[in-house]
Amino acid sequence: MAVTKRFSVLLAGLILLLYSCSNKPSGRFVDERYTLGAADKKPFGGHVASFMMDTIFGTSRIEAVSKPFNQWYDDFLDQSETSNHVYVIIAPTVRAFDKEAADMQRFVARGNTLLVVTDELSEAFEKQFHCKLIDEAENLSRFLRLQMLDTKVSIADSSAHAMLSYQYYYYPLMARLTVDSTATDSLQWLGRNNGGQPHIARYTVGEGQLILATNARALSNYFLLSQQNFGYFKALLSYLPAYPNLIHRDLFFQRNINRQPEDYSVFQALMAIPPLRWSFWILLVLAAIWVLSNLRRKQKMIPVVSPNTNTTVSFIQTIAQLYFNRQDHANVGRKMATHFTDYLRSNYYMPPLAMQNEWAYILHQKTGMPIAEATETTRLIRKAQQSNDFTATDLLQLHQLIADVMNRKKTHRQQQ
C-alpha cells in the first residue's frame, strides 16, 4: 500500500514537471536577426527602406541585382549608356573581393554614383577607395556595449539646410569613417554618429561620386518606423542624382552576409574557433607520438616448425625386413640390383650390364672403386638377376658394396 502511494506521488510530480516545461512565456521576444533584406519585414530587415526607394524613384527605374558585382559589371559594359547610373548596396557586411572592388572603382570613375551603407567593409574595398570603417563601440566595456539606451545619428538635410538628428532606443550607434583626404579634393562629411564623429562621407572618384555610410542599422525597419526617422533615409537618398538612367539595387551582399574572404580555407575556419583549434593541435600531437612510438618494426615471434619426417626410409626398411624374415633373399637381391643399375645409369651413365662384358672395368673407372670390388659387385648383380640361389651372405655383401659406391659419390660432391 505504501509503495502504491509513493508511486502515485512520483507520477503526479512528473506530470507537473512536464507541464511546467511545456508552458511557453506569454510575452513575445524581439527577433534581432540583422539582415537588411529588401523583403525582410522583421525589425532589422530592410523592407521599409526598399519600399521608400520604390516610392521615391518608381519601380520601373529600379533594377534588382543578384549577381556578384564583377559579373554584373561585365554585362553593364555592354550597354550603350554607361554613365549617370546609381548602384545601391545596403547590407550588414560588404565583403568585396579584389576584382569586385576594382570594378566598383571603375564603375564610379565612369561618371556613376555608388551608395554603400554597411557596418563592415572588406580590406580590398577600403584599399581601393582610401577609406576605413571603425566601430568605436568595440572600445567600450562589455557592459556599456551591450547596454540599450537612446542613441542617435545625424545627417545634413539639404532641404532644411541643417544637421538633423534621428534617434531610437537600442545599442549605441558608434561606428565612424575615416577617408584619406589626399585621395580626393571634394570630401564632404554628411552625418555624425552618436558620439559626434563623422559616419557618412561623400567624395568624387574619377568623374563619379561615392557615398559611403555606416551605422547601417539606421536603415532597418525598427529605426525607420520609430518616430519620424524615415526622414533620415529620405535625406540620404536626396544626395543621389535626381534623374539617373537606372538605379541598380544590390541583393547579392544582402544574401551573403557570411561570405568568406577570397582566400579563406577550411583550415582557417578551423583555426578561427578556439575549441576546434585546440582539438586539432592535440590530435596532431597524439598522432605524432603514435607515429614516433611505432617507427620500430614490430613482428610476431615465428614459431619453430619441426621438419617433416622422411617416412620413406622407414617404409623401405620395414619392407626389406619383411622380405628378409621370409627368407626371400633372391627377390630382395633383384630389387637392389635393379635400383643400383638405375642409379649408376643416371649418375655415371653406365651402360646396361647385359650389353658389356667388361662392365666391371667400366664400373671401376666410373666410380673409382677398386677393381676387385667392382668385379665382385658385378658378379653379385649378375647372380641376383639370373639365379634364385641368392643367400643372405650374398645379400649383405651386395648391400655393403652398393653403400661403398654411394659414399664415394657423396664424398666427391662434398669435396667439390
Last residue of a domain, one of 221, 251, 276: 276
Residue 29: is its pLDDT beyond 70? no
d(CA 128, CA 259): 19
Q: Kindly give the interhelix angle for 329-347 and 359-367, rounded to the nearest 10 degrees.
A: 60
Q: What is the pLDDT of residues 10-21, one digit of tens each?
A: 555 545 544 444
Contact 383, 390 (CB under 8 A): yes
pTM: 0.60
Per-residue model confidence (pLDDT) at position 23: 46
Q: What is the pLDDT of residues 187-239, one digit of tens each?
A: 999 999 999 999 999 999 999 999 999 999 999 999 999 999 999 999 999 99
Last residue of a domain, one of 259, 276, 293: 276
Per-residue model confidence (pLDDT) at position 27: 47
Residues 104 and 227 in one domain: yes
DSSP designation for 63: E
Q: What is the pLDDT of residues 30-66, one digit of tens each?
A: 788 899 999 999 999 999 999 999 999 998 899 999 9
Residue 78: is its pLDDT beyond 50? yes
Is 115 a domain residue? yes
CB atoms within 10 A of CB 203: 21
Residues 235 and 363 in one domain: no
* Residue length of the chain: 416
Is 233 a domain residue? yes
Per-residue model confidence (pLDDT) at position 28: 54
Per-residue model confidence (pLDDT) at position 4: 52
Last residue of a domain, one of 276, 303, 325: 276
Residues 374 and 327 in one domain: yes
Domain residues for the domain of 331 are 312-415
Average pLDDT over residues 360-386: 85
Per-residue model confidence (pLDDT) at position 25: 44
Residue 1: is its pLDDT beyond 50? no
Residues 185 and 258 in one domain: yes
Residues 269 and 329 in one domain: no
Contact 161, 201 (CB under 8 A): no
DSSP labels for 164-211?
A: EEEEEEES---EEEEE-GGG-S--EEEEE-TTS-EEEEEEEETTEEEE
Average pLDDT over residues 82-93: 95
Residues 243 and 98 in one domain: yes
d(CA 238, CA 211): 11
- In 92-115, which positions are buried (b, 16+ CB within 10 angstroms) versus exposed (e)? bbbbbbeebbbbbbbbbebebbbb
